[in-house]
Structure 1
Amino acid sequence: MLTSNGYVLDERRVGELRVVPERERGERERLRDRLERDGYLFLTGLLDAEVVRAFREYYIATTGAATERAAYRRLLFEEVVPGPEYAAFCTQPALKGWFEWFLGGEPFLHKRKIIRQTAPGENGIGTATQAHYDLVYLRGGSDQVLSAWIPLGDCPVSRGGLTYLEGSHHRVRAEEAQGPLKRPAASITADLPALAAEYDAKWLVADYSAGDVVIHTAHTVHAALDNVSTEMRLSTDIRYQLAEEPIDRRWQAHWHDRDGL
């Protein structure tokens, strides 16, 4: 049984993310066509698993000693987020180099990079990331910005990984093109089952491994599942785009959970 924010997903509206086949990994135009069709690229093993695990261990070693919420937040926002270890992880050649190749030009990494932690058993409204698409938070720049969701360690479905609403980017893009009234910078809903019924679509899930990366468009609706495992779920989501395209300047400061974005 899969849940998100306490809502039980209808098993008839649950499917699997499609992995990019190895034979297509070096064919840029085929990957672009796939991204256009599916709204995401599930790239298994794009990163060195040991590099991912090493960053996870650094994070835990840095924040794990904090027994109080205030101490944890200070370590997260004053040491980890602006630190050189996180910057190096997000610009490692396997990641930045991939975006440079895929975009066909100089890649630009938004400075606002997010680390998400969910402890086992956390549930209820507001615990898991609610359904949304990234463009509502990035109105000040290009709508061609791409997000990379990276599990920091193995993340089976039970640990609460990201889930994508199948084909949602097509509808979102059509709605965005209809007029000047845009969705506010807020989530769509915590009720994933209702949204799947509205879109007549499935929520796509996967058992992620250290080294996997999912790239998704700014129009693709996604959310997170509840962590019903016995292990901490840790991930990061970062955003790259072509440096020559308009950039949302609000995203050029280090992430803080009180930055209003």
Structure 2
Amino acid sequence: MPHFEAPSPSVPLYVNDGLLNPDQVGYLHASSPNEPLEELRQRLERDGYLFLKGLLPRDDVLKAREDYFTYLAPSGVLAPGTLPVDGIFDEKKDRGAGSTDANGRPRGGLFVDLALKAHSEPWYKDGFCKHPALHSFIAKITGWGDDNTLGLTRSLLRNNTPHNKAIGVHYDQIFLRHGEDNSMTAWVPMGDIALDGGGLIYLENGHRLGQQIEKDFYDKARQTGLTEEEAKNAFNKNMMDGGLISDGAKEFATEHARRWLVTDYQAGDVVLHTPYMIHASTINKDPKNVIRLGTDLRFVDSSRSDGQMSTRSETEYNVGENEG
């Protein structure tokens, strides 16, 4: 297995329940979009993810990052005298948080209002979300073809300011409970993310565990006489606040004797992952106070009879706060 040959990370990596031990950490296997397509498909099937280096043009990603932080600049989130594209957090700024969500992100205030409104800005929803390089690669790797590859309207454009709470442990099918498990998620880091900058981390062979968690729950649900609809609703109710499997990635790794696979990301990288791939994030400890920015973009095969259901599930049932 390629993961086992990588050295331990050179910086400490923190999650919500503490510092990850060296034996709890490995590295993501990097792939090139130019490798033979069948090899990439086999890797995605084997590992549950595909970490693609330089799939998108770097300049396009940095332009979107610049647009985002230019849009958020009136909130005062950026350090004075810094460029929007750098996304440097102003430590002295009070974000006017009030209450926080399951990931410790503030509710209310201009900072959050602008971050939510950014989803509907043309440069994002009509431009970045529909980037032809990403759409084309998804169409090829899945075999769906250009005409049948549908990007779901709902996306998750998320920032993570330094020292904020990390994203908890989850897999995406939790948020697509009323759709079939045939979607593909592209997590796109919008800018460079240092190893300790709060990027996503993936549980080693986490897609197999996610499938088992799903199966075990539905087996129990059927044994108790629940209908399929009742089982779906019961599954979501038994998740933690916001749809988490666990808030603590360290304890989760210990419980399941698996490592978290990590990396540093560069603008242009993309991680594809399957609906059951378990992932989380580290706490953003970037020493330069860089704000981590990334987005979850989901794709389905529109030729399938459940394509409309998958789109509908995003709108009606997706709790989404803990993703990406």
**Residue equivalent to 1:75:** 114
Give the distance between the partners of 2:319 and 2:254, measured in 1 at CA: 34
**Residue equivalent to 1:137:** 175
**Residue equivalent to 2:150:** 108
Deviation at 1:26, TM superposition (A): 4.5
- How many equivalent pairs are there? 250
Deviation at 1:244, TM superposition (A): 2.2
Give the distance between the partners of 2:247 and 2:202, measured in 1 at CA: 14
CA contact (8 A) 1:110 1:252 kept: no
Helix, strand or coil at the partner of 1:81: helix
Helix, strand or coil at the partner of 2:159: strand
Give the distance between the partners of 1:44 and 1:232, measured in 2 at CA: 21
1:66 aligns with 2:108: no
Partner amino acid for 1:95? L
Partner amino acid for 1:214? V
**Residue equivalent to 1:215:** 272
**TM-score, length-normalised on structure 2?**
0.72
Change (3 A) 1:252 1:28: farther
CA contact (8 A) 2:49 2:273 kept: yes
Aligned mate of 2:212, from 161, 171, 174: 174
Identity percentage over the alignment? 34
Deviation at 1:211, TM superposition (A): 0.3
1:250 aligns with 2:250: no
Deviation at 1:6, TM superposition (A): 4.6
Change (3 A) 1:107 1:199: same
1:138-192 per-residue CA deviation (whole Å, 9 max, x = no partner) reads 0111202111111110001111100000001112213423435464251011211
CA contact (8 A) 2:175 2:314 kept: no
Q: Unpaired segments of 5 or more residues in structure 2?
A: 1-11, 77-94, 96-107, 222-231
1:87-121 per-residue CA deviation (whole Å, 9 max, x = no partner) reads 21011111111111122221111111011111122
CA contact (8 A) 1:147 1:237 kept: yes
Partner amino acid for 1:197? T
Give the distance between the partners of 1:256 and 1:13, measured in 2 at CA: 29
Give the distance between the partners of 2:203 and 2:160, measured in 1 at CA: 21
Superposition pairs for residues 36-47 of structure 1, below 5 Å? 36-47=45-56
Superposition pairs for residues 155-234 of structure 1, below 5 Å? 155-178=193-216, 179-180=218-219, 181=221, 183-184=235-236, 186-229=243-286, 230-234=289-293
Q: Unpaired segments of 5 or more residues in structure 1?
A: none
1:194-252 per-residue CA deviation (whole Å, 9 max, x = no partner) reads 11122211100001000000001110110010011121111111111211232330314
**TM-score, length-normalised on structure 1?**
0.89
Larger radius of gyration: 2
CA contact (8 A) 2:193 2:265 kept: yes
Across the aligned residues of Structure 1 and Structure 2, the Cα RMSD in angstroms comes to: 2.1
Change (3 A) 1:252 1:225: same
**Residue equivalent to 2:58:** 49
**Residue equivalent to 1:95:** 134
Partner amino acid for 1:77? L
Give the distance between the partners of 1:139 and 1:34, measured in 2 at CA: 26
Give the distance between the partners of 2:113 and 2:281, measured in 1 at CA: 25
CA contact (8 A) 1:4 1:190 kept: no
Give the distance between the partners of 2:34 and 2:28, measured in 1 at CA: 16
Give the distance between the partners of 2:202 and 2:275, measured in 1 at CA: 12
Deviation at 1:73, TM superposition (A): 2.9
1:241 aligns with 2:300: yes
Higher relative contact order (CA closer than 8 Å, sequence separation 6+) = 1
**Residue equivalent to 1:32:** 41
Partner amino acid for 1:160? G
Change (3 A) 1:243 1:228: same
